[in-house]
């Protein structure tokens, strides 16, 4: 993983000879059209979620989505991932092998909302589901929870239609809170081994507490809606 506080050349010295970097800079300089397509795909999927949120609020008098965050992978992150996967530093390599250049994170109120929204999205006839990883039912070893989807969505350009891949993450407020703090703490450097072990254990415990909170809030909502 990239440490945002360090220069990439110190993290991946094998990348930083002049020929490799000149070639990659030339690649990214010519990538404006490709990155524009990713930005358009983000807008397409984000709009779909906003429409679902609006429709659901009219029918049920509440919004299942708390917030939507979007991001486009940075050139440094693209370079690091291509290097880590031993892939060519070319535009076709980026487009064919990296499925998380365009990213959307949907923060939901309740766990049930996550699966409802995911189902509504992938049932739309212009969305193709390429991959699903359910880290809610099957959390990562460190306690991370989220539902990840890789979808393909068509974007209509001036003279053509292109299918573009987008990574969608859906999680609850509690999952987002835990993940953000875990990310900050994970990048804390120069901690003694015993502190690292204790921190990992504590973070895992916090993840379990967050999961229990989600289940409890879901249960309360179910009771309220039955009345």
Active site residues: 167
Rounded CA-CA distance 32/88 in Å is 18
Rounded CA-CA distance 129/149 in Å is 7
SS3 state at 47: helix
Rounded CA-CA distance 186/203 in Å is 10
Q: Are 93 and 87 in contact (CB under 8 A)?
A: yes
How far, rounded to the nearest angstrom, does the alpha carbon of residue 213 sit from its chain's CA centroid? Answer: 22
Q: Are 139 and 214 in contact (CB under 8 A)?
A: no
Which parts of the chain fold into alpha helices (H)? 8-11, 18-29, 32-60, 75-84, 91-97, 111-122, 173-186, 193-226
Give the side-chain half-sphere CA count within 13 A for 141: 1
Structure tokens at 160: 């053509």
DSSP 111: H
């Amino acid at each position: 993983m990239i440490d945002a506080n360090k220069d990439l050349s110190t993290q991946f010295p094998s990348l930083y000879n002049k020929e490799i970097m000149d070639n990659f800079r030339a690649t990214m300089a010519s990538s404006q059209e490709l990155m524009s397509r990713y930005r358009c795909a983000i807008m397409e999927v984000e709009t779909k979620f906003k429409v679902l949120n609006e429709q659901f609020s009219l029918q049920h008098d509440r919004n299942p989505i708390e917030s939507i965050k979007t991001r486009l992978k940075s050139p440094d992150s693209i370079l690091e991932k291509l290097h880590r996967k031993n892939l060519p530093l070319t535009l076709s390599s980026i487009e064919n092998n990296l499925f998380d250049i365009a990213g959307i994170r949907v923060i939901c109120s309740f766990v049930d909302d996550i699966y409802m929204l995911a189902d509504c999205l992938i049932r739309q006839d212009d969305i193709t589901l390429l991959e699903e990883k359910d880290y809610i039912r099957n959390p990562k070893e460190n306690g991370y929870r989220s539902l990840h989807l890789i979808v393909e969505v068509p974007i209509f350009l001036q003279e053509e239609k292109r299918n573009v891949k987008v990574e969608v993450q859906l999680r609850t407020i509690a999952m987002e809170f835990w993940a953000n703090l875990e990310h900050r703490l994970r990048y804390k450097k120069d901690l003694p081994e015993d502190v690292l072990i204790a921190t990992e254990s504590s973070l895992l415990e916090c993840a379990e507490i967050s999961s229990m909170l989600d289940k409890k809030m879901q249960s309360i909502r179910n009771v309220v809606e039955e009345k």
